Amino acid sequence: MSTTPVADEVAVSPLRNTIIDAADRLYYARGIQAVGMDELRAAAGVSLKRLYAEFPGKEEIVLAVMRRRHDLWTAGIGAAVDEADSPRERLLAIYDYLSGWFSEDSFRGCGFINAFGEMGSVSPAVAAITREHKASFQAFVAGLAADAGADPELAPQLSILAEGAQTTAAITGTPEAATQARRAAEILIDAATAARH
């Protein structure tokens, strides 16, 4: 999977990792705005002074969490796709990965969509990293679609299916959206590959 600036970050110290882990758990479970720095400090087990020494402000912590989520998404979906046997199955593996993720008790939707909804209008950096993450996924799907010999229009269609499934699953609290999106993807893939042959 291609990397974008969203994934670029210097080596992370154990203390920064501890803070990012705590922030990710709290932000994802309850929302960014609902979690104050004092609560984060307590969850990470560090002093407020140390927290601010590592991260001068909340936005920097949010961006670090988003970079971590990008890396986890990239690795997870990449591994799922790599296990598939054919170009068609590699595209469909996206939705199999989503199904597993949606079935986790901790699933609360896409962290990027959530962060954009909370902060995208007031934080250009959060808006930018969200756009970079989504563009990276579209580029990844475009590569898979090209490998399958599909019409180039297939990639954005499959990406929208995946994004819509994430939002739907978060709202309904059930994983069925991944199965429905996979079925729709099969129809789109077959139509797009037949049109090229």
Q: Is residue 118 included in any domain, yes or no?
A: yes
Side-chain half-sphere of 103: how many Cα atoms within 13 Å?
A: 9
pTM of the model: 0.90
Provide the domain count of the chain: 1
Residue 160 predicted with pLDDT over 90? yes
Q: Is residue 75 included in any domain, yes or no?
A: yes
Burial of 94 (0-12, 13-18, 19+ CB in 10 A): buried
pLDDT at 1: 42
pLDDT at 196: 66
Q: Is residue 123 included in any domain, yes or no?
A: yes
Q: Is residue 4 included in any domain, yes or no?
A: no
Rounded CA separation 175/60 (Å):
32
Q: Is residue 41 included in any domain, yes or no?
A: yes
User: How do residues 77-88 score in pLDDT, each as one tens digit?
Assistant: 999 999 999 999
Residue 171 sits in a domain of what CATH number? 1.10.357.10
Q: Is residue 133 included in any domain, yes or no?
A: yes
User: How do residues 86-143 score in pLDDT, each as one tens digit?
Assistant: 999 999 999 999 999 999 999 999 999 999 999 999 999 999 999 999 999 999 999 9
The tokens for 119 are 């902060």
pLDDT at 197: 56
Residue 50 predicted with pLDDT over 50? yes
Q: Which of 105, 97, 96 is nearest to 76 (CA)?
A: 97
Range of the domain at 168: 9-196
Rounded CA separation 64/18 (Å):
12
pLDDT band at 19 (very low <50, low <70, confident <90, very high): very high
Q: Is residue 43 included in any domain, yes or no?
A: yes
Q: Is residue 125 included in any domain, yes or no?
A: yes
